[in-house]
Structure 1
């Protein structure tokens, strides 16, 4: 479709041809996506690993097209030939011992996931990602069928860069006994039975009642306190059910001691910044320039010549009551121009815009005040018009 030679003469024939070709390209993409998915399912059923971190106690082994081992892949290493395949094999003995310890403590010692996490952290043991253990990370180990050799894929998926969704078990693709087990299947089955008994779905009223009892017992609520309470679901489950913890606290008539008004302010600033970026792109297009928002690096690319990074700065009062704005636009790679949107003390309306080359911004480590001297205040503007003027294009014939 990108190589098609369309005639942009505005005729009905060219418009119809574009629509037909566009539909053909979209249909080709849909068919190709289905073929790729079917191919991945086939490889999973054959016992090959289809991406993802292998996990604690397991390693990825690369095989050639004849099934002969080529070597263990380290993290961030990938196969170099399309015909090669990946399988999981047991990892270092010390990691296997940790995995078996988790199952043993959960099944035989009857400890909870939280108690196991505390035990591992006390012993100085970290996860495969070099992080401290949590209830969720222990629960993830207990629920992974790859530790008994089962290859399970498509538990969750995201189509066309949409949000990840958890698929029902009927859509899972699996191959049992595809790898060498490092955990006894009988112990694994007992662990799953215990997990099912623990994960009886609580109603909204039951979850709120458990949280109210915890508040009465502890006198305050935080995410760490909720996660550490065995009688309460984890904080992540409250966020998933009620939206966020602040909304959950309001449902049980609890007002946190800490001021969280900045949370709503930040939401407002993010929405305002997105609107300013859209308006800037439109303004540049109106003066003959071209601008796109590179969401991956969060920069604006103007005319293919320069990059602009934009950030908002809340107005904060110093101990003496004077306004102050914190600077800091960190992008990799660094943009050519940086724009800092300074807010008024109410943090609802815009005071001005600091538009400067990024190398000038590096000297603003102490932040901005109401008066910064002519060297800095010369970059302050009431609108983004100077930036639009930089992107404006003028035909050569108008200069002759």
Structure 2
């Protein structure tokens, strides 16, 4: 008998593409890279299954490249559907100032069994140590190119600043960019969003339109003479339509930056925060150039100095040592430290300042040797919950994007906008054991979080493990006046929404949206009608469409008289369930109690 032959087929190579361009002015960079990578994949019989693209992202840092971070996270998770990564060259992978950092991310991929291929480098032609030497050399050259270019740009801006020229982008309100030719003659101004007319023209800062100057003078006068606070000034500007510039709303930082800008008294100040060989911006300027009296001031010098004096008394650069001394002084005066006491002190650091320097007020108390009188463990739990919620949103978004959907994430409201057509609100609910011994999951659904779907993740009592998930249409959630309660076992109307994985979300969402469209078409309703009815319900206004007609009132009166005659006398309105002014609210307990479900079948 001849032995059996086992034919082993070679595993097909599946690859993901990584593309990057540094600025949005490189119009065809992404297209050129994509064409080159697809040509390489076709030539080497590689199937492209996914694409990661960082558009207008610098290659100096890993944190500023969301596509790169998502790629490395998939590689670390071991759940990626590819075994190779194609990128154009070493510089597209990154221009890290530390060449070892670029090698580290490639090592992570190789450790997970994923090969990083630089299609335009030709490293495959060399074998052994020569390939590693060439890669190290290329990484160093890519970092040096970025470092050298940064130094050249900084020196050019420094020379322009010495000549009194403008080196930045759009100036603040009340100022404009004037076009100056080679002879120093002003030829016109450059509007917002426009560029110079000729390459030889230079830009200088000059006073802007008169109505904008009036707004700037109003800000200085209200702050220095009327002694208004910055939030009060912001509110007054936003309430006045004439004070808005280009339709934008005023913010706290916008007003504060105007109050410290010396250009409003005719001075030009250029500060350089560049440090050669370092990526992060320096905290203090390394070089300063000052030109005084370049043009007529918009704000009188006395008014500017009065505002600067008040700012110096209000704003102070605190370090940790001075913050701890101030905290100990507050504790010695009051015998306790609270947020209200810190914020009410004139000239002292606020509670936000302590939280910014120490991470939280509790950490500041402990660093100063002050023991909190209350249990503050909820602070750490809240931080952990925020981290878990963000991680869960990233996981759901990654699953949806892997299936070809575009996702916009709103971390503040925990809402994912999918394909700009439907939204999903993610809510993590921890289990709570009641005094009766039953375990319940209670949560609130505010109107601001009412999207198309609710992804409810039920956690255990420790909050570290997800027990199950429900994908619920928000229109089908029936709430009690304060919150929704779910038990460990619910009836069919609730359990029908249980899902087992995030990959089940898109098909269920599409089916739900199709059902909603069918229902709206069947009943002759439009989305505008639904929105109007929902807004009336939020404002507690009566809906004209729900008001009973005259025939319906007559029929109801006859029914009430018939019930009264059968009862043999007058029946109290609240004693008969059919005559109750409001329908009974269903209990939100477990199905073992025989109640209705919170989330009924649609």
Q: Classify the TM-score, shorter chain.
A: 0.5 to 0.7
Larger RCO (CA within 8 A; separation ≥ 6): 1
Write out aligned runs for 1:155-234 (5 A).
165-168=282-285, 170-189=286-305, 191-192=307-308, 195-196=311-312, 203-209=322-328, 211-212=330-331, 221-222=339-340, 226-227=342-343, 229-234=345-350
Distance 2:120 2:316 in 1: 57
Distance 1:376 1:137 in 2: 47
Distance 2:313 2:495 in 1: 69
Deviation, 1:80, is: 6.9
What's 2:191 paired with?
Answer: 72
What's 1:40 paired with?
Answer: 157
Q: Which residue, out of 244, 249, 263, partners 1:130?
A: 249
Alignment gaps of 5+ in structure 1: 281-292, 388-400
Q: Report whether the alignment pairs 1:49 with 2:166.
A: yes
Deviation, 1:24, is: 1.2
Deviation, 1:156, is: 5.6
Write out aligned runs for 1:253-272 (5 A).
263-272=379-388
What's 1:345 paired with?
Answer: 461
Alignment gaps of 5+ in structure 2: 1-88, 93-118, 415-425, 479-483, 506-602
What's 2:138 paired with?
Answer: 21
Matched residue of 1:100: which SS?
Answer: helix
The one-character-per-residue Cα deviations of 1:278-312 (angstroms, maximum 9, x if unpaired) are: 9x8xxxxxxxxxxxx9xxxx746866845678976
Deviation, 1:92, is: 4.7
Distance 2:475 2:222 in 1: 55
CA 317–208 in structure 1, closer or farther in 2 if over 3 Å, else same: same
CA 80–94 in structure 1, closer or farther in 2 if over 3 Å, else same: closer
Number of matched residues?
A: 343
Given that 1:343 and 1:349 are in contact with CA atoms closer than 8 Å, whether structure 2 keeps it comes out as yes
Deviation, 1:31, is: 0.8
Write out aligned runs for 1:54-133 (5 A).
54-56=171-173, 58-61=174-177, 63=179, 68-73=187-192, 77-79=193-195, 83=199, 86-93=203-210, 95-104=212-221, 109=225, 114=229, 118=232, 121=235, 130-131=249-250
Q: Report whether the alignment pairs 1:376 with 2:497.
A: yes
CA 373–226 in structure 1, closer or farther in 2 if over 3 Å, else same: same
Distance 2:379 2:277 in 1: 30
Matched residue of 1:166: which SS?
Answer: coil
Deviation, 1:147, is: 1.3
The one-character-per-residue Cα deviations of 1:207-260 (angstroms, maximum 9, x if unpaired) are: 21564489679x9534xx755642423444333443333434665858699x97
Distance 1:197 1:373 in 2: 60
- The alignment's C-alpha RMSD in Å is 5.3
Given that 1:106 and 1:113 are in contact with CA atoms closer than 8 Å, whether structure 2 keeps it comes out as yes
Distance 1:173 1:361 in 2: 60
What's 1:150 paired with?
Answer: 267
The two structures have a TM-score, normalised by structure 1, of 0.61
Deviation, 1:193, is: 5.4
The two structures have a TM-score, normalised by structure 2, of 0.44
Distance 1:94 1:252 in 2: 54
